[in-house]
Structure 1
Amino acid sequence: MADRLRADNQHLQSIAFRDSLTGLTNRALLEDRLTQEIRHAERGGRIFAVLFIDLDSFKPVNDTYGHRSGDFMLTVLADRLVGAVRGTDTVALVGGDEFVVILSELADPRDAAALCEKIRDTIAQPVVLPQGEVAVSCSIGISLYPEHGTDTITLLENADAAMYAAKADNRYGYRFFKPDMKKT
């Protein structure tokens, strides 16, 4: 009976905190993990980064090849993202084609930039769909704790603003948050 209750509880946790398509962390669990990361960084005097990743030109994939192919592509890209980061980092799907990554315990902010280049190159690799190979690029915004915020909302908003700046600049790029990127 205890094993059944444990299994049921794990199933409920999975439904509540995981994206049903990709199995990635969802927004609710992301916010909890981000809160925990803030507490951990405060105690240890560490920095970490929040990456907001948006797939460039993903809508045409759904429009051209159908939602099933788009969903398949999202699962492949989600797996690639998980493979590109450390096991201690968190990868979440927070929108149709938007991901957030928490890069825990960075030694240097340049480590976030290096990982963004790796993520960008990983995402850009073609995905084989039944209709042929399809590639998308991504735009990435970076906010650093504590430089760009000390709470979950501010860190996410600032990473999002930096992502929009990257998208406006040239797509297939990344930007660190700057105060002038804030939407008014």
Structure 2
Amino acid sequence: MILGAIADDLTGATDLSLILARNGMRVVQTIGLPDDLGAVAAEADAVVVALKSRTIPADEAVAMSLDAARALQAAGARRFFFKYCSTFDSTDEGNIGPVASALMSHFDMECSVACPSFPENGRTVYQGHLFVHDRLISDSPMKDHPLTPMRDPDLVRVLSRQTERPVHLVPLATMRGAPGAIAAQVTATP
């Protein structure tokens, strides 16, 4: 298995599964974590585990996501992906930050990239600010979501409130810079 993905909801898991399948991968999507993921995933290039972890208590979301990560590892996944909502809807306590931080610790990672965009659905990020089509997310209907209102479009601020890990912006100019510019900025940032 090339890719093991942990999704925080069914819709996002399905979107990811469709994208991977359309690009030639043999994909298995599960709803929750099956008893024998290895048997389910035997012939798959990618396995996407759909959890319902976006709005539950953060400690439960972390535990579910770590269980999925361990099961994907045991099933032979070589790469891992945490699929959260492209509107980054969450609360100040999580669950995106706590789950991402726990997965980083599990995989012994010092840094990771968070870029919740899905241009096909009008979700883009510019200079660290999340847009829904041509509006900041804080000016979109998502600002009044009943469970996960998004009133702050600044993703550095949002994620910083959810994790003790440092959160930094890699600006567009750096992204467009010379090869190695991103790595140089990330390693130079305390």
TMscore range, shorter length = under 0.3
Output the TM-score relative to the length of structure 1. Answer: 0.27
Output the TM-score relative to the length of structure 2. Answer: 0.26
Name the structure, 1 or 2, with higher relative contact order (CA <8 Å, separation 6+): 1
